[in-house]
Chain A
């Protein structure tokens, strides 16, 4: 039978590519004013981002040729490497805004927590797919998984990066849930984490203040404290966009009104410039990406491929929801990026590599069909 030359999920490919293009435009719009103000170079963020996008896009293509099964073998190495990097970042990391989250690689401020998330998904997928060897005893899967989750969450939390720690925990639990781990175990684990997390939250005043500030904001939208400032400004950006938006490049909120307008709040700037139509378009593109990943998961040739695809699905979906909830004022500022859109290389590179791997799985599905 004649072989299909290029076995690519074109829907997935084009959705991601379109998101990357939109990301470049949005980062340009939202960062130039700040960049000019802060560094005197209006395009400094733009070129940085464009380079990261190009790199990510290339890696996405390269990794689609990289047999996903090989990842099973290096999952432990990646896990250990992540742990090492998490420790290094605590000792020697670049501190930005009071948190040591980055390792300066010269061309990139690398965020080990992103690698850790990827490694964890890889590892949990592996042990879930190896459950026969583990005699199907959930405790043999749960305990090692939880060991690593707890370890990573702890190291990330003390950076401090509480929200990333929480989101990695959530992604892991949902993945374990799909891996048929008994619900009661997951519930108990979550309660323990919740308890530990609460203790952690109240030890730092900024965290608890942010949460209290946010809930008082929900009750009274007119409240204007520094804690709710970002949320108010995001809502003004979104609301001012209206249905059709102010037009490309017409953002006003990025002129220092809305902090992190190219990062956490880039979605608000998209909503400001492209309106309801543009914002929904971005949401739909991300939905297309997620549904394609879901389809790949469903047709996965191996159990590992299924769990891995599912893990990526959960990651991207959770990040999207959390970030858009921050933008629309349903959650306080977290520092978590919008997948494929926000400025910041680490998440972008990891997400694109993930998509590359999923394309490889897709290739396996297609080839199997013709075998």
Chain B
């Protein structure tokens, strides 16, 4: 029997086509079947009144860690799926540094089998180098041909420039996407926050922005001799943005992302040694944060990620230098980003594009658009409702959010994956 649902009384938002109208959207058997001001629905359609709320493509999060390595794999996948659904995220790109490390087809299949019953889509992002060691190229060709063609060493930088050069060349033969983490190892070693006056005041070892920019500059130089598709996972400073801008101007197939905390917080969030704001790369200066917003606005930065990284609270209840870096973020991806709409920095469709159509294009996914024939992965949100982020109410098992108590406007009220409702906000 066909499963038919008609969503009525919605503000339809499709960043890809620029659509922003009051209308209706019909899904049949997990696909979008029609969308318009008025849609003729079959008789058996279940009708859901969205009460004027926004309806956009389900969010695609390109940087998600599925949990504390060594913790119960299955349970963290289930929980990650639930947290994603609550955040309007319908596709999570799983970083490979789980246990086991995802660096080959069997590991991808293992993850897929584990994630079969998860609420949202899990896409494996396999490692660029075997076991993330930065020494040997993983089986990029075989994995790409099997449809897994976005690779990353997630939180590690490939230090060896000769190896990086070969990776770019090799990957270009398979149209693989290489996603990088930008932190020159020697400049980053022992560092735990942005280098600068505050680090000096707190007596903490700093990581200069140069650590990020140097790697990006090196990679751009190497890309000159290959056509590899390149995505900088997180850019956090004005200097890196300048390098990106040049590369894009010169026609390189380069894209870039940024994580939500770097959009909305600066280094002062860690004052008083708040380990919940310890990140890699670290939170930067206010000038850099403003540059990031500008780069989102002018399109230099294409993607916004949550960087969702559940950490055992015990690894955060230690002195700052010893604390693990990482924050959860699936449930605060959309509402924190909507700040840029409410404070009139960036228009709504452009913000949504960074979490829907842009990552879909970069990753080669069918989702991320409101289009007939596209998967019915949808996010429904109330654009204006004001409240405070409350860590205690979060679905994520670990509560290491850096936004607890922050006043926000906008809330996900419903999430749909392949036509099925996977989340409903209950007040």
A and B are interacting partners:
no
Hey, which bits of chain B sit against chain A, CB under 8 A?
none
